[in-house]
Chain A
Amino acid sequence: NAGVTQTPKFQVLKTGQSMTLQCAQDMNHEYMSWYRQDPGMGLRLIHYSVGAGITDQGEVPNGYNVSRSTTEDFPLRLLSAAPSQTSVYFCASSPWTGESEAFFGQGTRLTVV
Chain B
Amino acid sequence: AQSVTQLDSQVPVFEEAPVELRCNYSSSVSVYLFWYVQYPNQGLQLLLKYLSGSTLVKGINGFEAEFNKSQTSFHLRKPSVHISDTAEYFCAVSRMDSSYKLIFGSGTRLLVRP
Which A residues contact B (CB, under 8 angstroms)?
4, 31, 33, 35, 40-45, 48, 50, 58, 90, 92, 94, 96-102, 104-107
Q: Once the chains are docked, how many angstroms separate the CA of A90 from the CA of B49?
A: 20
**Are B46 and A98 in contact (CB-based, < 8 A)?**
no
Given contacts A92-B44, A98-B101, 5 further A-B contacts (CB under 8 A): A40-B107, A48-B101, A102-B46, A105-B43, A106-B42
Which B residues contact A (CB, under 8 angstroms)?
4, 6, 9, 32, 34, 36, 41-46, 49, 51, 90, 94-96, 98-107
* CB-nearest residue of chain A to B105: A42
Q: Once the chains are docked, how many angstroms separate the CA of A45 from the CA of B3?
A: 13
**Are A42 and B100 in contact (CB-based, < 8 A)?**
no
Instruction: Report the minimal beta-carbon distance from A49 to chain B, rounded to whole angstroms.
Output: 10
19 contacts between A and B (CB under 8 A): A40-B107, A41-B106, A42-B6, A42-B107, A48-B101, A92-B102, A94-B100, A96-B100, A98-B98, A99-B49, A99-B51, A99-B94, A101-B34, A102-B36, A102-B44, A104-B43, A104-B45, A105-B43, A106-B42
Q: Once the chains are docked, how many angstroms separate the CA of A28 from the CA of B76?
A: 31
Q: Which 8 A-B pairs have the closest CB atoms?
A: A104-B43, A98-B94, A42-B106, A43-B104, A42-B104, A31-B100, A104-B44, A101-B46
A-side contacts of B49, CB under 8 Å: 99, 101
A-side contacts of B99, CB under 8 Å: 98
Q: Once the chains are docked, how many angstroms separate the CA of A43 from the CA of B94?
A: 14
**Are A98 and B43 in contact (CB-based, < 8 A)?**
no
